[in-house]
Amino acid sequence: MAPILDIQNLYKNYGTTEILKDINVSIEPGDFLVLVGPSGCGKSTLLNCIAGLEPISGGAIHIGGHDMTSVSPKDRDIAMVFQSYALYPTMSVAKNITFGMKVRGIDQKTQTAKLEQVARQLQIEALLNRKPGQLSGGQRQRVAMGRALVRDPKLFLFDEPLSNLDAKLRVEMRTEIKELHQRLGASMVYVTHDQIEAMTLATKIVVMKGGVIQQIGTPAEIYKRPANLFVADFMGNPAMNLIPARTRTAGAGTEIEIDNKGGAPIILRDPHTSNLPPDVILGIRPEDIAEPGFRAAQSAQEAECLVDMVEPAGADTFVLTHLGGKQVTARLHSETEAQPGQRQKLAFDLNKVSYFAPDNGQRLN
Amino acid sequence: MTDVTHSAARTQSRTGQIVLRWLLYVILCLFAVYYLMPLFVMVTTSLKSLEEIRTGSLVALPREITFDAWKTAWSGACTGIQCDGVRPFFWNSVLIAVPGVLISTLLGALNGYVVAQWRFRGANIIFALMLFGCFIPFQVVLLPMARVLGLMGIAGTIPGLIFVHVVYGLGFTTLFFRNYYVTIPAELTKAAKVDGAGFLRIFWSIFLPLSLPIIVVTVIWQFTQIWNDFLFGVSFSQAGTQPITVALNNIVNSTTGVKEYNVDMAAAIIAALPTLLVYVVAGKYFIRGLTAGSVKG
């Protein structure tokens, strides 16, 4: 199938400042693409470019197989949900939802039918005569979604739609958006700075930094095989441990030596990876450091570390230690007896580690 | 013992507060009297007969209330050789002020909408130049304006005066609307664009309905400016198109013989009434509109 959205070599400049550099993304119908990155990485600008609200400085945007590069927003067959919801303050909920149809000159009967359908779908029938000012944050969010849904577009665009909601509501609406996506099978592009939102919603994630795409992949790929140090650090909570280490070739595999605070260096063996440079940064997720005998993988290798701090978090207990001069977090089971200031045996699962070059931060394995 | 001292101190400070409060009221009353005095004198004088004005005190209440002076001021007082009172000039002012206010407000709203929501290259420079227009003294534009009005063929006419006031008011009206619209999130325009609305549709359906407070502010401001204007009125009018401010001056300055203070006062009050009325009717929106934007609605 042809991609529903295809962005080719897109550049965006404001004066002499490059905001977006050589962006290439394409998604298939039904995909849920999440653009994620820290503030100022250009993700919202990219979304505005897709919508046609910002002109682009180079490249092309195709939507549904048509070249939309210089087409105005209203003719791109898109609908957009904004961070501030952008509901028209003087219009009732019903008028907000039907405004687009009214502008397009769609007949009254169709308008009413579509309004009813969307209102039922989002359970906002009771709110139709209210003004946006009389709605709660969650209700406004729903109305904004209704305004997008009623257009039945080829592509939905979401610009951080959940960041103005409180934590609990955010999780609820996240689930609802995901359910909506599954039920409609619609194609969506979603901007967020929240990596958990990205992981839970996306079928495809684009991680951006400074206007450059760092990695494109499924949530699992991004999580397990981050392309560079930035992605490794940005995605996942708590973040991936990034530990400076020295390597030696040992047979078909590699021997890894890590400085250990208050003890002899730890030696770990990775039988699967070879040809690493002598100095690397070892990336290991907190859940791949466990307590021996509890949730630790068969092949995990044990080492004794000094515990700096213990943070119980209900289901898990996070244990902080120092390796290679960096703070390292291990995700242990909740009944662990690890105590601050004592030495604790930890099991490192080397099957899932990543190696990065210290100089340019690129992935090595 | 300490308790007693404490309560004594408290009573003392309470008495101090009451004294201060009363002192404040007295001062405020004095100021109020000071400001109301001229109005009082005007109203009472306009209700007295000439005879009583000559013999009585300036601040005394009228012994006998008569509306003769008002009648004369409205339809009989002489401005130079013409003796029709201020009535024709009052209507001239209405004919100048109403279209002048409406046009300058509408154009200001459009300008503000463009400068605040449709950013284009040089938008800030254009806005700065319009702002600069607010600070150009009236006298500076008199001669060039006379020339322009002459070229346009509307010198000495009411449309000419409307034109002058619209041009001179644009700086202020644009400033008001721009500052109001700049607080409206740009996402609103974006959402409407995605919905398919164009430039005028967005202005008409989304921005204008939001603008009541600032429209009221602008209308009051412009109406007061245009109604009270004297310099443009006297410079760019001719017999028959003079606004009421010019007529008032002529009545007061061109009387021969006995000065009819009661007629002068009545004419002055008539000239001032419309601006008072506008403020009383729309005043509460004025305060709201001035503070709008500083607080998020």
A363 is a domain residue: no
Are A228 and A247 in the same domain?
Answer: no
Are A311 and A164 in the same domain?
Answer: no
B196 to A82: CB separation less than 8 angstroms, yes or no: no
Residue A1 has pLDDT above 80, yes or no: no
Are A184 and A203 in the same domain?
Answer: yes
Are B145 and B278 in the same domain?
Answer: yes
Are B124 and B251 in the same domain?
Answer: yes
Asked if A91 and A130 count as a contact pair (C-beta separation under 8 A), the reply is no
How far apart are the CA of A237 and the nearest CA of chain B, in angstroms? 31
Could you report the per-residue pLDDT of A119-172, keeping only the tens digit for each?
Answer: 998 889 999 999 998 998 889 999 999 999 998 899 999 999 998 888 888 998
B78 is a domain residue: no
Out of A53, A88, A133, closest to residue B190 by CB:
A53
How distant, in Å, are the alpha carbons of A156, B62, B181 from that of A33? 10, 84, 34
Q: What is the pLDDT of residue B292?
A: 52
Are B5 and B99 in the same domain?
Answer: no
Are A144 and A38 in the same domain?
Answer: yes
Are B26 and B102 in the same domain?
Answer: no
Are B9 and B94 in the same domain?
Answer: no
Residue A357 has pLDDT above 80, yes or no: yes
How far apart are the CA of A74 and the nearest CA of chain B, in angstroms? 4
Are B211 and B283 in the same domain?
Answer: yes
Distance CA(A279)–CA(A358), nearest Å, equals 7
How many A×B Cβ pairs under 8 Å?
57
Domain of A261: which CATH number? 2.40.50.140
B40-69 residues touching A, CB cutoff 8 A: none
Are A207 and A256 in the same domain?
Answer: no
A82 to B191: CB separation less than 8 angstroms, yes or no: yes
- Domain range for residue A351? 241-356
Residues of A in contact with B201 (CB under 8 A): 103
Are B184 and B258 in the same domain?
Answer: yes
Asked if A44 and A212 count as a contact pair (C-beta separation under 8 A), the reply is no
- Domain range for residue B26? 1-35
B54 is a domain residue: no
A232 — phi, psi (to 5°)? -60, -40
Are A213 and A264 in the same domain?
Answer: no
Residues of A in contact with B210 (CB under 8 A): 89-90
A260 is a domain residue: yes
How distant, in Å, are the alpha carbons of A229, A280, B69, B197, B273 from that of A360? 9, 11, 93, 48, 78
Q: What's the alpha-carbon Rg for chain A, to the nearest Å?
A: 25
Domain of A208: which CATH number? 3.40.50.300
Are A60 and A156 in the same domain?
Answer: yes
Out of A79, A87, A88, closest to residue B194 by CB:
A79
Q: Where does a domain end: A214, A234, A254?
A: A234
Beta bridge partners of A326: A323
DSSP string covering A6-38, please?
Answer: EEEEEEEEETTEEEEEEEEEEE-TT-EEEEE-S
Contacts (Cβ under 8 Å, ≥6 apart) of A20: A10, A11, A12, A42, A45, A46, A49, A56, A211
What is the total count of domains within chain B? Answer: 2
Are A74 and A123 in the same domain?
Answer: yes
Residue of chain B with shortest Cα separation from A54: B190
Q: What is the pLDDT of residue A51?
A: 94
Distance CA(A60)–CA(A4), nearest Å, equals 14
B197 to A103: CB separation less than 8 angstroms, yes or no: yes
Residue of chain A with shortest Cα separation from B212: A90
Residue A88 has pLDDT above 90, yes or no: yes
B72 is a domain residue: no
A94-103 average pLDDT score: 94
Determine contact: A117 vs chain B, CB below 8 A.
Answer: no
A342-353 average pLDDT score: 90
How far apart are the CA of B210 and the nearest CA of chain A, in angstroms? 7
Residues of B in contact with A48 (CB under 8 A): 190
Are A253 and A317 in the same domain?
Answer: yes
Distance CA(B80)–CA(B70), nearest Å, equals 19
Taking Cα atoms as reference points, which of A335, A346, A343 lies closest to residue A312? A335
Q: What is the pLDDT of residue B289?
A: 61
Q: Where does a domain end: A202, A234, A266?
A: A234
Taking Cα atoms as reference points, which of A159, A186, A217 lies closest to residue A4? A186
B209 to A104: CB separation less than 8 angstroms, yes or no: no
A194-208 average pLDDT score: 94
Determine contact: A218 vs chain B, CB below 8 A.
Answer: no
How far apart are the CA of A183 and the nearest CA of chain B, in angstroms? 24
Are A168 and A262 in the same domain?
Answer: no
Q: How confident is the model at residue A69 (pLDDT cuts 50, 70, 90)?
A: very high
What is the total count of domains within chain A? Answer: 2
Residue of chain B with shortest Cα separation from A150: B195
- Listed in sequence order, the DSSP H helices in A123-166 are 137-149
A86 to B187: CB separation less than 8 angstroms, yes or no: yes
Helix (H) and strand (E) counts for chain A? 8, 20
Are B184 and B260 in the same domain?
Answer: yes
How far apart are the CA of A15 and the nearest CA of chain B, in angstroms? 11
* Residue-by-residue pLDDT tens, chain B, 297 positions: 455 566 666 777 888 899 999 999 999 999 999 999 999 999 999 998 888 888 888 888 888 888 888 998 898 887 777 788 889 999 999 999 999 999 999 999 999 999 999 888 888 898 899 888 888 888 888 999 999 999 999 998 999 999 999 999 999 999 999 999 998 988 999 999 999 999 999 999 999 998 988 898 899 999 999 999 999 999 999 888 999 999 999 888 876 677 888 889 999 999 999 998 888 888 777 776 655 544 333
B192 to A99: CB separation less than 8 angstroms, yes or no: yes
Q: Where does a domain end: A234, A254, A275?
A: A234
Are A122 and A145 in the same domain?
Answer: yes
Are B237 and B108 in the same domain?
Answer: yes
Contacts (Cβ under 8 Å, ≥6 apart) of A47: A35, A80, A157, A159, A189, A191
Domain of B131: which CATH number? 1.10.3720.10
Are B222 and B94 in the same domain?
Answer: yes
B196 to A90: CB separation less than 8 angstroms, yes or no: no
Out of B188, B194, B210, closest to residue A74 by CB:
B194
Q: What is the pLDDT of residue B293?
A: 44
Determine contact: B208 vs chain A, CB below 8 A.
Answer: no
Distance CA(A116)–CA(A42), nearest Å, equals 37
Residue of chain B with shortest Cα separation from A48: B190
Out of B193, B196, B206, closest to residue A88 by CB:
B206
Q: Predicted ipTM?
A: 0.83
Residue of chain A with shortest Cα separation from B196: A74
Kindly state the percentage of chain A with pLDDT values over 70. Answer: 100
Are B18 and B149 in the same domain?
Answer: no
B211 is a domain residue: yes
Are A253 and A344 in the same domain?
Answer: yes
How far apart are the CA of A11 and the nearest CA of chain B, in angstroms? 20
